[in-house]
Amino acid sequence: MIRRLIILLLIVGCGSRLNTNPDEIQIITSDIDRFWSTVDNYEGDLSNALDKEYIKQGTNGLKDFIPERIISAEALAEHYLDNKEYYNSIRESTLQVEKVKYEIINILYEFKEIYPKAKFPNIYYIIGKMNSGGTAKNSGLLIGAEMFKNYEESIITAIHELIHYQQPNILSFRVSLLTKSLREGCADFITSLLIDEEKRMKPDTYKYGYIHEKKLWEEFYAVMNSKDSDEQYIWLYGGQAEDRPMMLGYFIGNQIAKSYYNKKSDKKQAIYDIINWKNSNKFLIASGYPNF
């Protein structure tokens, strides 16, 4: 009897995360309201107020966001007080994020059309420490609302994270630069099929990439199997020379995915493969990239 109950709970739990109907997703913004209410009305120590009113009463999405992004109420309070002018500048935008719901749902239907196996998690908009526009966790898609001066810009991030939600969980701290770049670049590429490429994330990265693609590939190829965290940071997160934008690994991964997509006559199968590849080196060879 106990075993049956455990199995049933597992099925119900998985079902709640594996929703296939875009109309049934929830866009949850209650953490935003509680954040502003807390910073507007606290007395005494802000960190205590954030811990009690914001974090401990937070949604599952906020709780998933804390360990790697917010860290603690103390860290969030310190960051907010140090950047209060910026937070106030994006306040109105964060309070309007519910307006993106219908546009996001329309895009989800377009995604389901090209990828019938799509899963649609709930989307949580939260307030963090200005260090993450979005991530995908078991609870759903977690969007850092404070990162967007215009709430509509968050749509692209939400769709990029939606693609991550579909991908096999192949990441660890010891995978290659190519693997991480492909994971990000493939998400960027599928996003570009659903949203006008001119509106894509990281426009400076792509503008620079298209101009310098051959040279970038030569540099990337020399280190693509590296598992060194410093090397990966340079290509994926920051640390580039002053004359280069960040995240050029995303661009390389996108170009590999695009090459694979253009090479295949069955586009739905190509999309499936771009989302579900298991071996980054084999996928690179199959893509035919570079082709310049």
Mean pLDDT over the full length of the chain: 89
Measured over the CA atoms of residue 97, residue 101, residue 104 and residue 108, the dihedral's sign is positive
Backbone angles phi, psi at 201, to 5 degrees: -65, 160
Measured over the CA atoms of residue 30, residue 32, residue 33 and residue 35, the dihedral's sign is positive
* Domain boundaries defined on the chain: 17-166, 177-287
Q: For the whole model, what pTM was predicted?
A: 0.87
Backbone angles phi, psi at 28, to 5 degrees: -105, 120
DSSP labels for 246-290?
Answer: S-HHHHHHHHHHHHHHHH-S-HHHHHHHHHH---HHHHHHHHT--
Non-local CB neighbours of 157 within 8 Å, separated by 6+ positions:
133, 134, 143, 147, 148, 201
Residue 292 has pLDDT above 60, yes or no: yes
Kindly give the interhelix angle for 177-194 and 248-263, rounded to the nearest 10 degrees: 70
DSSP labels for 39-59?
Answer: HHH--S-HHHHIIIIIITT--
Helix (H) or strand (E) holding 27: strand 27-28
In tens, the pLDDT along 128-139 reads 999 989 888 888
Instruction: Check residue 197 and give its pLDDT.
Output: 65
Note whether 177 and 231 are within 8 A (CB): yes
Instruction: Check residue 26 and give its pLDDT.
Output: 92
Give the pairing of strands 134-137 and 140-144. antiparallel
Q: What is the 3-state composition of the chain as percent helix, strand, coil, each rounded to the nearest 5?
A: 65, 5, 30
Name the pLDDT band for 236 (thresholds 50, 70, 90).
Answer: very high
Average pLDDT over residues 13-38: 82
Rounded-to-integer distance, Cα 239 and Cα 12, Å: 44
Residue 17 has pLDDT above 70, yes or no: no
In tens, the pLDDT along 172-227 reads 558 999 999 999 999 999 999 999 766 666 788 999 999 999 999 999 999 999 99
Helix (H) or strand (E) holding 15: helix 2-17
In tens, the pLDDT along 97-119 reads 989 999 999 999 999 999 999 99
Instruction: Check residue 11 and give its pLDDT.
Output: 31
Rounded-to-integer distance, Cα 257 and Cα 255, Å: 5
Residue 152 has pLDDT above 60, yes or no: yes
